[in-house]
């Protein structure tokens, strides 16, 4: 009778012969899956870095706002009225 190693070799050969038609499709789909997984992992890392980055300071009422922030004109408000405690002008 056959030993364990001979049966393993025969089984591998039978699987290779029967799966030869599907093997390229399987490897292609495995490659696509690996690329998708890699892209998703990269996106998650970038999202985590963006969440950890400190936000631009935005202080209201008489302190400096970033120049691109709404309400950063001289009055400190978007509607043109002066902040409380300051005379208009």
Grouped pLDDT means (10 residues each) for the chain, 89 residues: 88 87 88 96 90 65 58 53 58
pLDDT at 50: 82
Is the separation of the CB atoms in 61 and 86 below 8 Å? no
Rounded CA-CA distance 42/48 in Å is: 10
Is the separation of the CB atoms in 77 and 71 below 8 Å? yes
pLDDT at 8: 94
**How many other C-beta atoms are found inside a 10 Å radius of the C-beta of residue 43?**
10
């Amino acid at each position: 009778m056959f030993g364990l190693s001979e049966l393993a070799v025969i089984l591998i050969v039978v699987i290779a012969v029967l799966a030869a038609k599907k093997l390229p499709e399987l490897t292609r789909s495995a490659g696509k899956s690996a690329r998708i997984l890699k892209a998703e992992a990269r996106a998650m890392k970038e999202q985590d870095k963006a969440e950890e980055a400190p936000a631009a300071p935005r202080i209201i009422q008489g302190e400096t706002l970033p120049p691109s922030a709404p309400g950063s004109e001289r009055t400190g408000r978007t509607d043109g009225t002066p902040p409380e405690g300051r005379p208009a002008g």
